[in-house]
Structure 1
Amino acid sequence: MRLSNERFAEKLGVAARTVASWRKKPDLVQQSEMQQVLDTAFEQASDAERARFAELVGEAPAAQAVSGITEDERLTTDPHIGAALEWLDRSARWIPGTARRAVASRLADVTVQDLHNRGTRRSWVSQREVVDALRQYYGHQIENHGLYCGRIGADTVNTSVLTCVDWLDVACELRPEQERFTATSTRPDASLELDERAASLAVQRLAETLAMSTRLVNSPIYRLLGTDIRKHQLGGSFGVTHFAHYALTMDLLEGELMDALAAGSSSMPLRDRHLPDLRSVLDVANRLCAGGVLALTAIARPADPYRGDADYLLLVQERSGHVLNAARRLAVIPKGFHQPLTDVRRDAQVGATLRRELEEELFGRPDIDNTLDEMLTADPMHPARRSEPMRWLAEEPDRLRLESTGFGLNLVSGNYEFASLIVIDDEEFWQRYGGMVEANWESATLRQYSTTDTELVTELLSDVAWSNEGLFAMMQGLRRLAEIGGERVKLPPIEWEIST
């Protein structure tokens, strides 16, 4: 159910320490009364929750892990797969039904073990290799835009994020008076005409999605049309597209790049088609430019006899192998797609996405994860639905600080990235709710770092497992935290430059 100990205990009506003891003693046999309580919880669980449970206890094949049905059944009954197939038929100029037959045929040749092996090979490609390859492909700079580089002490880190001076150190609090984004239309953009190779790769993506039992939700996402970003001000406009359009086109660029590097090849025909040069990267109005918001989370803690002086706890995740972007890479948390829930205009603000991701990825609210269930709530972010930690933060306006620290376009897939910072300055939060902060399914692990630990933080920033956008947000977040964090931050100065 992806609940914390405390929330699961509350759901069952038992003490939190009881649930904690179950996790420590998984072989414990429950008394009959408690078995009845758990039976009831199981009966009330959703199909997706039951399927996950069955997989964990080894009672269901992996192919049924998400939907509870076989690949062939999902190919014909899953409405999201159906929408993707319809989009593919239309975009490839195929007779309706052709995409479904093509995916069914390709599915027979897909081996799950081969996909796992490919994922392992991709994970061996380092962040530095990605940057070097993209620099060679694109060059370093166009006009006043270049690749973001950072320095901490004697160490230099490079990223694939294309940015400029006006887009960095914006120190923009995510409040209505400082966010000026507009959604110009709710109509999805026109279909892209796919050539034979692009259509074949889209078929392969759908076949692999079914083979791996990956949930594909064809929800609306924002596409960037223009920007007006400067110090203390975010502005611009967004249109709306559907996730299938992105998943079957621009999102394929990352996998193509990783496979080329793993094989020692320079052939990237999809990149040649969609993002052939830096001018096309910057021309967001005339291409599909999806993206997201990611934030360095810093939580104040009091002095500790073992850890030392008062500090900020920094949270870093290793991304799960099941996520769409930056699988098995290091990233800050939260990190999510910029997309509307129910209100296209209000949700266009970066702060709206960041608050949603904070609730979903750290405070345990699966009801706002549209990859798990359909969104039927009129206002999913209504104050009455807030998690307990978020309710406490909202009681006082100074308890939660959300800022944008920078903006860039990631050359890996052409996505836009809003680097952000979440600061909780009240030490009482960690004492109250530290035990309830828990990553969701998108993370494989969650790591803690201290802003007083120069050695480990410097080592972390040099790790080649970072995603490029994660490293960008981490560096920009630490720069801003050093300005506002006072004595809690004891790290070497972090500087940036734009490569030429």
Structure 2
Amino acid sequence: MEVVDVWTGQRANALQRALRFTNEAFAERLGVNLRTVAKWHAKPDVQLSPEMQEALDTVLFGATEQAKARFGLMMTAGTATDPDRNGETSTAKDKDLIAAEQRLNSDAHIAAALEWLDASAGWAPGTARKRVAAEVVQLDASELGDRTRSRGRVQRADVAAALSAFYGTPMDGHGTYRATYGDGREVATSVLTHADWLDIACPLQPDSDRAALVGSTSSEPLPLDDVSIDGAVRRTAETLGLNTTMVDAPLYRLIDVDVGKQRIGGAFGLTSFVQYALTMDLLEAELVDALAAGREPSADTLPLRTRLMPDTASVLDTRNRMCAGGALALTAIARPPSGRRTQPDYLLLVQERGGKVLNAASRLAVIPKCFHGPLTDYSDDTQIGSTLRRELEEELFGRDDVDSTVTSSQRHADPMHASRLSQPMAWLAAHDGTDHWQMECTGFGLNLVSGNFEFASLIVIHDETFWTTYGGDIAANWESESLRRYSSRDRNLLEDLIGDRAWSNEGLFALLQGLRRLAQVGGSRVDVPAIEWEVR
């Protein structure tokens, strides 16, 4: 609970607002006349009498937890202003408000975001904390709900079309990834790619997965302007107000890429999730909000995008901008015939992302899907395969201790040591380099939504005994709202899946590339729609 050393008119006003009392109700609660409360509004700097200090201490001590949270945020912000609301917030929102106040005071990851904001904006230490607290106090639960629903009505195809219009004609053989499937149906994505980056069938093993870590980048990130600062403050406040997860884990930042048939090369630097979340990740919300409001994408309607990634050249210039991203894989597990399923097939897994994640929230995606970042060995972990192995453990095999979104600290010298692996992962490790299973990168692209790099991949377990033995151990983690199962032999259902409007752009990219490769390696277990891609 916020402790008040000296009550002033301003602090008394803040308590009144936190309690949602009218002047009359506040005066009655304190046992003073109405003119006294009015005086506090007129003279916020006045220091109150010892008797009134004690009375206000008593009222604060007896307030509800959500009122104490509101008061604490107002005290942090140094303001007594809190627009009138129509009635109390819902119980769920009250809990989020309490959590927001607690996280602002004790969450090390939010503290890292505030410290980064102060430094990047050139503010005195503590300024970001006050501005974010003031923004949290001003959040309107109904407005946030309306915005979330409006964003939900903007489909993946709308985003892809808007970005294609914004960036115009591609350059040097690059273009957005599009595909024709089944009976001629078409889909388009926002993934900027190149013919040389597709169907690369690169085994995610050390001899072909060879991107290196460099000690530093060649340039500093762009300094924040007023538009960027406002967006970062708002994102931090909404993270608190909606109780969304934000962990300041280290991430790899793409510097150079060299992708081709059966090889991945290039260079990564290091950044942090907070720096990504408060810069490039803001571009998606800006775009979706503009589309939801019916505004055409332009420099005027997308000022952040115009500042951070204005054209195709800047998208491709990963050395001189923030370019975080990750890997995502279509997982296919061989199954024997069973019940109505009279022929052997592969089980294909698709996740519906939850609403509390910052990336592809409430969208369809393949699983695993993850940011590319180090766990303990910053050099060896630059391999895309290292990240995907870790994410298999986290997202499907139940290893919470390798989940960097839960904690950014790791005390085990080798969390992926053979002695610590889950039983399913230990089976895969024991069969590395055999025909029992394979893990490949199927394509690479740069997502125009936030400029992320995307390594689309495929994980295929060919040995039926894996499913027979470990099928019951496979479960999605907290990032997924639910897990869907599809058969690799159900062509019609897979066509419907491809056409589902709920896909994220990068998820659809990985699904299509994964199905193309599965058709080549899966033999008689596979009857998927024919898929032909183009880049334009």
Q: Is TM more than 0.5 here?
A: yes
- Name the structure 2 match of 1:38: none
Aligned-partner Cα distance in 1 for 2:110–2:171: 39
Which structure's relative contact order is higher, taking Cα pairs within 8 Å and 6+ residues apart?
1
**Deviation of residue 392 (structure 1)?**
1.7
Aligned-partner Cα distance in 2 for 1:188–1:450: 47
Aligned-partner Cα distance in 2 for 1:187–1:490: 46
- Name the structure 2 match of 1:388: 423
Q: Deviations over 1:17-73 (max 9, x none)?
A: xxxxxxxxxxxxxxxxxxxxxxxxxxxxxxxxxxxxxxxxxxx966667xx974233
Q: 1:139 aligns with which of 142, 146, 168?
A: 168
Q: Does the residue aligned with 1:162 lie in a helix, a strand or coil?
A: strand
Match for 1:498: what amino acid?
Answer: V
**Deviation of residue 80 (structure 1)?**
1.4
Structure 1 residue 165 and structure 2 residue 199: aligned?
no
Match for 1:76: what amino acid?
Answer: N
TM-score (norm 2): 0.79
**Deviation of residue 242 (structure 1)?**
1.4
Aligned pair in 2 of structure 1 residues 274, 162: CA closer, same or farther (>3 Å)? Answer: same
Match for 2:112: what amino acid?
Answer: A
Q: Which moved more, 1:385-394 or 1:403-412?
A: 385-394
Q: Deviations over 1:132-181 (max 9, x none)?
A: 11111112421210011111121111111000011000000001111111
| Structure 1 unpaired stretches of 5+ | 1-59
| Structure 2 unpaired stretches of 5+ | 1-90
* Contact persistence 2:494–2:529 (CA under 8 A): no
Q: 2:305 aligns with which of 261, 271, 288?
A: 271
Where do 1:278-317 residues align within 5 Å? 278-317=312-351
Aligned-partner Cα distance in 2 for 1:462–1:381: 37
* Contact persistence 2:176–2:193 (CA under 8 A): yes
Q: Does the residue aligned with 1:339 lie in a helix, a strand or coil?
A: coil
Structure 1 residue 201 and structure 2 residue 231: aligned?
yes
- Name the structure 1 match of 2:373: 339
Q: Which moved more, 1:180-189 or 1:368-377?
A: 180-189
Q: Does the residue aligned with 1:407 lie in a helix, a strand or coil?
A: strand
- Name the structure 2 match of 1:150: 179
Q: 2:147 aligns with which of 107, 118, 141?
A: 118
Where do 1:372-387 residues align within 5 Å? 372-373=406-407, 374-387=409-422
Q: Does the residue aligned with 1:141 lie in a helix, a strand or coil?
A: coil
Aligned-partner Cα distance in 2 for 1:187–1:217: 23
Aligned pair in 2 of structure 1 residues 226, 186: CA closer, same or farther (>3 Å)? Answer: closer
Match for 1:319: what amino acid?
Answer: R
Aligned pair in 2 of structure 1 residues 81, 270: CA closer, same or farther (>3 Å)? Answer: same
- Name the structure 2 match of 1:41: none
Aligned pair in 2 of structure 1 residues 186, 357: CA closer, same or farther (>3 Å)? Answer: farther
Where do 1:233-248 residues align within 5 Å? 233-248=263-278
Q: Which moved more, 1:330-339 or 1:191-200?
A: 191-200
Q: Deviations over 1:390-413 (max 9, x none)?
A: 112222233331100000000001
Structure 1 residue 230 and structure 2 residue 260: aligned?
yes
- Name the structure 2 match of 1:472: 509
Aligned-partner Cα distance in 2 for 1:93–1:317: 41
* Contact persistence 2:219–2:319 (CA under 8 A): no
Aligned-partner Cα distance in 1 for 2:103–2:218: 25
Structure 1 residue 404 and structure 2 residue 441: aligned?
yes
Aligned-partner Cα distance in 1 for 2:519–2:334: 13
Q: Deviations over 1:302-332 (max 9, x none)?
A: 1234023111111011111111111111110
Q: Does the residue aligned with 2:211 lie in a helix, a strand or coil?
A: strand
Structure 1 residue 462 and structure 2 residue 496: aligned?
no
Q: Does the residue aligned with 2:210 lie in a helix, a strand or coil?
A: strand
- Name the structure 2 match of 1:49: none
Percent identity over the alignment is: 55
Structure 1 vs Structure 2 CA RMSD: 1.8
- Name the structure 2 match of 1:249: 279
Aligned pair in 2 of structure 1 residues 493, 191: CA closer, same or farther (>3 Å)? Answer: closer
Q: Deviations over 1:464-484 (max 9, x none)?
A: 111000000000000000111
Aligned-partner Cα distance in 1 for 2:268–2:349: 30
Aligned-partner Cα distance in 2 for 1:291–1:78: 25
Match for 1:213: what amino acid?
Answer: N
* Contact persistence 2:352–2:363 (CA under 8 A): yes
**Deviation of residue 282 (structure 1)?**
0.3
Q: Does the residue aligned with 2:415 lie in a helix, a strand or coil?
A: coil
Structure 1 residue 213 and structure 2 residue 243: aligned?
yes
Q: Which moved more, 1:396-405 or 1:179-188?
A: 179-188
Aligned-partner Cα distance in 2 for 1:480–1:74: 45
- Name the structure 1 match of 2:44: none
Structure 1 residue 431 and structure 2 residue 468: aligned?
yes
Q: Deviations over 1:409-434 (max 9, x none)?
A: 00001000000000000111111111
Aligned-partner Cα distance in 2 for 1:174–1:325: 24
* Contact persistence 2:345–2:489 (CA under 8 A): yes
Bigger Rg, which one: 2
* Contact persistence 1:394–1:400 (CA under 8 A): no
